Amino acid sequence: MRPSPWSWTSRLLFLVLITAWGFNFLFVRVGLTDASPLWLAFLRAAIGTATAAVLLSGLGGWGRLDARGRRDALVLGLPNTTAFYGLVFVSIQAILPGISAVLVYTFPLWVALLSPALLGHRMGQRHWGFVGAGFLGIALISLIGSTATLGVSLVPMAESLAAAVAWGVGTVLFQRRFSRAEMLEANVYQLIGGTAGLAVLTLLWVPVPLPTFTPALDVSLIWLGVLGTALAYSIWFDLLGRTRAATLSAYAFLVPVVAMIGSAIFFQETLAPLQLVGVALVLVSIYGIGRAPGAGEPIPPLAPAE
């Protein structure tokens, strides 16, 4: 029997992770009062990249990747950071943090759907049942939430779901490509690649005003960049090096729970009864996909591309 990767240290780190990521959604909403979505996403990624590089230097983690590994990590930064951050920050202008978190954290559903094609995994009946429950939950959340404002709220909800797809693709490919020893360094390089992508989008997009640096924006950037990116991503990729993506992502259902509680307290976010049913279906499906039979099988790394 393989030893469980969930030591007490791992559990403590995961608690830090879900708290940081759950409150990210609240701090994004705060930061958007003084910065445009792309500027806020770029600043978060830039601060997170610099902090992650410092953390990696302190751990002596440089030098694990060859040139092709660095190249592949830079490219994977496009779905993992550029697309993911950009879509989340744009969408959260129009929907409250709790709903955004639930939709974004459907990424385990997309991991499950992508696994047969990208990883050669077969999904059993239980997997498909949980996937179906998850998409029923998405439908309830989106359709009930958009009843009064059909032309407005469906678009940001779709953006949040697109962010989940991008993260799901990046997560699967990242674990397939890199070994556990390479994960932390690859994380820094994917942040560099993703930050570069956000810089291009920010500079080439329709001109928007520069951010106004207020105490609220400063606090938001410290949380989003240092805690919500550098520290949280380092924990995520460390755990990802020891645990299959579907298994690890199953426990990520706690992140939208944290976000919804925080949003209810600080933004008075409330949900219609059918939306609450949808949220429950999504959370059950996320957990169920990771815990279904076959979720713990190891994944062989991809050979480096020529």
User: In the prediction, which pLDDT does 245 show?
Assistant: 60
Summarised one tens digit per residue, pLDDT across range 211-224 is 999 999 999 999 99
Summarised one tens digit per residue, pLDDT across range 221-249 is 999 999 999 898 888 877 876 776 666 76
Give the pLDDT mean for 127-147. Answer: 69
CA distances for 56 relative to 41, 59, 60, 197, 230, angstroms: 22, 5, 6, 22, 10
What does pLDDT average to over the chain?
Answer: 80
What is d(CA 47, CA 15) in angstroms, rounded to the nearest whole number?
A: 22
Within its chain, how far is the Cα of 295 from the centroid?
Answer: 20
* Residue the block writes with tokens 């499950």: 112
**Beta-carbon count within 10 A of 15 CB:** 12
* Residue the block writes with tokens 């279906």: 281
Within its chain, how far is the Cα of 135 from the centroid?
Answer: 18
User: In the prediction, which pLDDT does 50 show?
Assistant: 95
Residue pair 118/176 in contact (Cβ under 8 Å)? The answer is yes
User: In the prediction, which pLDDT does 295 show?
Assistant: 45
User: In the prediction, which pLDDT does 132 show?
Assistant: 77
What are the tokens at 107? 């990424």
User: In the prediction, which pLDDT does 19 show?
Assistant: 92
Per-residue exposure over 253-288, b if at least 16 CB sit within 10 Å of its own CB, e if not: bbbbbbbbebbeeeeebebeeebebbbebbbebbbb
* Residue the block writes with tokens 């299959």: 244
What is d(CA 185, CA 196) in angstroms, rounded to the nearest whole number?
A: 17
User: In the prediction, which pLDDT does 143 show?
Assistant: 62
Question: Any idea which of 126-135, 213-222, 284-293 has the lowest mean pLDDT?
Answer: 284-293
When pLDDT is cut at 50, 70 and 90, the band that residue 267 belongs to is confident
Helices and strands in the chain, H and E counts: 14, 0
Give the pLDDT mean for 73-82. Answer: 94
Within its chain, how far is the Cα of 4 from the centroid?
Answer: 24
What are the tokens at 282? 């999504």
Summarised one tens digit per residue, pLDDT across range 49-68 is 999 999 999 888 898 999 99
Looking at per-residue confidence, does 181 or 271 come out higher?
181
User: In the prediction, which pLDDT does 49 show?
Assistant: 95
pTM of the model: 0.81
User: In the prediction, which pLDDT does 135 show?
Assistant: 73
User: In the prediction, which pLDDT does 249 show?
Assistant: 64
What are the tokens at 246? 């579907």
What is d(CA 7, CA 102) in angstroms, rounded to the nearest whole number?
A: 27
Biggest alpha carbon distance in the chain? 57
What are the tokens at 215? 């105490």
The one-character DSSP state at 102 is: H
What are the tokens at 108? 């385990």
What is d(CA 272, CA 146) in angstroms, rounded to the nearest whole number?
A: 11
User: In the prediction, which pLDDT does 148 show?
Assistant: 44
User: In the prediction, which pLDDT does 287 show?
Assistant: 72
Sign of torsion, CA 101 102 103 105?
Answer: positive
Query: Looking at the predicted structure, is the pLDDT value of residue 306 above 70?
Result: no
Sign of torsion, CA 109 261 222 12?
Answer: negative
Query: Looking at the predicted structure, is the pLDDT value of residue 3 above 70?
Result: no
Domain layout of the chain by residue ranges: 9-291
User: In the prediction, which pLDDT does 277 show?
Assistant: 83
